[in-house]
Amino acid sequence: MNELIPSFSIFLLVLVRVTTFFIMMPLFSNRSVPAPFRIGLGFFMSLIIAYTIHVRPFDFYGSYFLLIIKEALVGLLIGFAAYLVISAIQMAGTFIDFQMGFSLANVIDPHTAAQTSLTSQYLYSFALLLLLSLNGHHLILDGIYYSYQFIPIDQPWIHLGSANLAKYLALLLARIFLIAFQMSAPVVAILFLVDVAFGIVARTVPQLNIFVAGFPVKIAVGFIVMAATMGTVYIVVEHLFETMFYTMRNVMELLGGSA
């Protein structure tokens, strides 16, 4: 504690970046993770990182509060970039539910306390379990640790208004839509063919109530296709995690001005 007290200003800045990162990151931001666990993990991780940063302690003047705001923005933006990539899984589930008819029955997501579709919630939970099984959460924690190499703690401000950052986030959003469409394409395409088949049946047999017979058939076909393509989804989600780690690094470089 005698060594911590003179560098308390550094520890406070590290704590702000780490805790704001935990607010937005895909895994530790879930409501199912107890708040004392997140606070304790953020505190001890900040304590460890503070001892690895070799800069002079800051004075508590007006510029120090600007550094606090800068650190909060860094943590939020890095965590938001990671969550933006993972949201492709939920987006793919929404596309699938729209075709299967499950979009009429949204549920409350216990992780975010927001309404979400059934399939997107299933795929998102599957992705989080896969992330834990692959030790991806270790790489996420490494990301916030090595962020101080790209964005030093004594850097006055970040390149928030950079045109390269805006362009990168726009391209990232377009890529996320493309990945979500590719993940849902097999189910959506086959369900579209089922709709075409029901349309032909409706024209040839007008007495058949398509709306009554269509829903269970589409749900059954959707589940069969999802079960058949789950191995492919597993591979795509693994590559999605890799994209998430590269995205975090690129956002750090753009915020730090090194790219």
96-128 residue pLDDT tens: 888 887 766 665 655 555 667 778 888 888 888
Q: Where are the domains of the chain?
A: 79-256
Per-chain mean pLDDT for the chain: 81
217-259 residue pLDDT tens: 888 888 888 888 888 888 888 888 888 888 888 888 888 776 5
pLDDT of 223 reads: 86
157-190 residue pLDDT tens: 777 767 788 888 888 888 888 888 888 888 888 9
* Per-residue three-class SS string for the chain: CCCCCCCHHHHHHHHHHHHHHHHHCCCCCCCCCCHHHHHHHHHHHHHHHHHHCCCCCCCCCHHHHHHHHHHHHHHHHHHHHHHHHHHHHHHHHHHHHHHHCHHHCCEECCCCCCEECHHHHHHHHHHHHHHHHCCHHHHHHHHHHHHHHHCCCCCCCCCCCCHHHHHHHHHHHHHHHHHHHHHHHHHHHHHHHHHHHHHHHHHHCCCCCHHHHHHHHHHHHHHHHHHHCHHHHHHHHHHHHHHHHHHHHHHHHHHHCCC
Q: Is the pTM of this model over 0.85?
A: no
